[in-house]
Amino acid sequence: MKRLILVLGAVLLVSGFAFAGAAGEASSAGDSAASEPSIELDDVNRDDGVLRIVGTTTQAFDMLEILVEGTTGVEVSNLMGAGVDPHLYQPTEQDIDVMNRADAVVYNGLNLEGQYDAVFEALREQGVTVYGMFEPVKNAGFIIGAFELEEEVEGADDPHFWFDPRNWGITVEDTARLLGELDPAQASVYAANAEAYVEQLDLLYDWADRGMRSIPGRQRYLVTSHDAFQYFGAAFGWRMTAIQGISTEDEAGVGDVQETVDFVISNEIPVLFVESTIPPDTIQAVIEAIEADGGAARIGVRELYSDAMGSAGTFGGTYVGMIAENVYTVLQSYQAAGVDVEIPEWPAGLEPAPPASVLNPTE
């Protein structure tokens, strides 16, 4: 269901591009939106002295909160909470109203928010700044190239770029620039917040990279049910393979359960991971098939955060904590499977520090 909608959305996206490319400047903007339901928005007076910024995903909201620290007259809010799958999330009437009252909406893009195109179009017409976080990262060529989705959506970039903390640093700096343009009086605050935060992201990256590279190269395959972790893997010298097969980036792409089973057994991959926004059934089926074929693999000590972070107020409810907890989950799971792993000391000054429940998984 999820995959079908993702593919349909991406096909629309791709055919939209193709149309724009073929018709060139002669096409009128209205034509390509003809098949989408039009959305009527109320006229709103946004000139009330408050700068309202809405982030669509948990990641966007987390970054906005960090960038506006110490400012006055700025309100940030989010639409999707913990555990929400943004590929499928339909904006509610209330969401649309919140976005329409905002000065700017900050979204992920590359079709992650699969159900938002018509709403964004209508918001732009109302004068709301609609800003895609993917743009500066894509313009910079991503830290490690973008990944193409599989054949149905060839040419479309993988939207999960935030999983490389260096990509996220690019996003942070550019979002601070945007906020400074919307609110020039406090531009220096946004810039200083961005600079301090990028230093944190650098600490996070170095820490994660050291731990993730301590696993033998041959076993550095993240086997999950969905496609979210290409950038997360590539950032640290890993490859990933998803049973649902969104990625066919290289020979590691597998199309079905039996291929995954053979792949896991022949590469001696000891752990398969379940993701926070996807039901665990598929991975469970693969583990059972591996055992039936005489192999052995276990499920990770925790779920991986994929397209949404953890609940507000938890370690995984921050970007830094979400990345770090995923790294701990990978390393601890491999360690539990008997692989020799280095779990580096948490860097001094990197906030938030992991709680005992993350440092010592009970399973």
Q: Evaluate whether 164 touches 233 at the Cβ level (below 8 Å).
A: no
Q: 157 vs 307, which CB is nearer to Zn ion? A: 307
End-to-end CA distance of the chain: 31
Give CA separation, 63 vs 14, 169, 251, 301, in Å: 29, 10, 35, 28
> In angstroms, rounded to a whole number, what is the distance separating the alpha carbons of residues 78 and 57?
7
Minimum distance from residue 345 beta carbon to Zn ion (Å): 31
Output the smallest distance, CB 135 to Zn ion, in A.
19
Quote the least distance from Cβ 160 to Zn ion, whole Å: 6
Of 132 and 211, which CB lies nearer to Zn ion in the complex structure? 132
User: Directed axis angle between helix 187-212 and helix 58-67, to 10°?
Assistant: 130
Q: Which is nearer to Zn ion, 228 or 286 (CB)?
A: 228
> Which tokens belong to 175?
């979002």
Alpha-carbon distances, residue 345 vs 20, 156, 216 (angstroms): 51, 38, 20
Closest to Zn ion by CB, 130 vs 228, is 228
Residues in the site for Zn ion, rule: CB under 5 A? 228, 307
CB of 156 to Zn ion, least distance (A): 13
Bond before 270 cis per omega within 30 degrees: no
DSSP SS3 for 322: helix
Dist CA 127 CA 105 (whole Å): 11
Closest distance to Zn ion from the beta carbon of 350 (Å): 26
Q: Output 164 or 307, the one with its CB closest to Zn ion.
A: 307
